[in-house]
Structure 1
Amino acid sequence: MNQLALLPSPALALPALIAAADDATRLRFLEFFAVTIRNPHTRRAYARAAGDFLAWCEARGVASLAGVQPLHVAAWVEALGRELAAPSVKQQLAGVRHLFDWLVTGHIVPVNPAGSVRGPAHSQRRGKTPVLAPDEARRLLDTIDVTTPAGLRDRALIGLMVYSFARIGAALAMRVEDVFVQNRRLWVRLHEKGGKRHEMPCHHNLEHYLAEYLDGCELREDRKGPLFRTIARGTKRLSDTPLPQANAFAMVRRRAGAAEIGTAIGNHSFRATGITTYLKNGGTLETAATMANHSSTRTTQLYDRRPDDVTLDEVERVLI
């Protein structure tokens, strides 16, 4: 039996350099994405990077994988740097480097041409995610019409990200059973990156939002079903389909517009807003890291936007 037949349809859209190679090369290429990467977002990003790089090589006369040299990778990185930010370039280079590592260990190519290529220098001490002031976040939550299933869902989702510092991916992956009672309080269970399971008690506002959502949309008995769902077409009721991340982003922008919030926020803004507000009210960085399920406080510091207030105060000293 041909092993390629076991793999999904992406085999039909292989980069030309891979499609022109033998079965062993094509199989090893596909195994890299199917076997070594579990996170769907990472898989998509690395597949896009590999496809773009191999297409770039083919356009410049590289006839096979064996013909890819460090100079090709370096020139590609240089070209990317004129179009993309340094973190994006580093991510794409990482995808290509990991792919060729996999091809080397599979004896498809003798050496990794990306192994010696350095990415652009990048140091980040302050996150770029737009954040809301506490009164803006409060206004956004209060302006949501909760007389509809969509309103109950949206308030519960935004509240979850604000009060539990949840990533949007972890929030949308939740099932109804991931909202549970423990020690007479409502808790949430988040399935984070790398298979990490993170549980924490709910803020009293979040407890109220989730309870009204579960009861108002009659979800409590569907314990294995997705917690956050799309609205069924033409019914204005919840479907059985999990809410996609793109739909959540569109919802956030729509709700922000309705609340007359000028900041161009996205799904991640609520995580940064919650962490910053917690720290402003006397919370510690170490505890914030635990609540956000960060392995290092250095990551949490990227969400701490308290220095923004200091900077604004200093700017206003320019009395001209």
Structure 2
Amino acid sequence: MTERALYARPIPADPALGDDQTLPLAGGPVRFAFAQILSRSAPPRVVPARALPDDLLERLTAPRAPICGLTLDRPRIMGVINVTPDSFSDGGRHLAAEAAADAGRRMLAEGADILDIGGESTRPGAAEIPAGEEAARVLPVIAALRGAAPLSIDTRKPEVARAAFAAGAALYNDVSALTFAPDSLAAAAELGGPVCLMHAQGDPQTMQRNPRYDDVLLDVYDWLAARVAACEAAGIARARILVDPGIGFGKTLAHNLALLRGLSLFHGLGCAILLGVSRKSFIGALSGEADPARRAPGSIAAGLAGLAQGVQILRVHDVAQTAQAVAVWRAIRHGENP
């Protein structure tokens, strides 16, 4: 992307407007009639959506391909299973494989559509662990849950992703956006499943040491656009790619809020959007709640704000509460009954 690139953030429309006055955002229930044109050198301006270039309008409106067999015409919930001793909100609770598998089954019963299983903490300050140790944590859990629902492997390491896919995982969720290892891109192409590319500035040990951006919304967009292009060059079709702006990964409170306000911009990448805000520190900063396990209300508020901008997948710890909130939100906003 260059300064001449057109940054168009769709402005979600009031659901009361008829379909003849609006366009579908990424083929989902949220619609828009106008877009905010953003620039690094000029004030934002608003234009009619139909005035956008045809190729950009196609990326903004086209339905996203199913992910792991899940259609994306309605919000999907990804349940988080951290098979770690040190994750920021639930470290140690699911370290035993049996406890992790039980948690996964409970999340599915509560409304999760997909489970994200990780064996290495990527919280701020976390240290890297050997691939063998990480694989030993997650593989028994994946094997126990295989066939119960689509499974995602949350890892930066291609060798762990390969082993996880062999055990039954179907989505490669990488917080480094396939930059951690030289063969990450090749592994994702070889595995053939969908991949989630998350933005992070720095690694877990350094990312919260004074993160800086020229324009956080446009900088993250450009970085993800470059990673999507790298994936396509490696043989990974855009239809297989999800993007995640990486809330809390190398961002200040102000950065996180700017990204959340501007989320609909990322539909311009032509990929499904995954949003992970669950229990994160910005919620504690805004609410005064120090205990991550008590941040479900704030997590749900941020998640619903994402859904209102067309986000397709919410990655959450509190599945039952989120599922209930999403069901009510859908019924009120779009007249949809789950």
Question: TM bucket by the smaller chain?
Answer: under 0.3
Query: TM-score under structure 2 normalisation?
Result: 0.22
Q: In proportion to residue count, which structure has more helix?
A: 1
Query: TM-score under structure 1 normalisation?
Result: 0.23
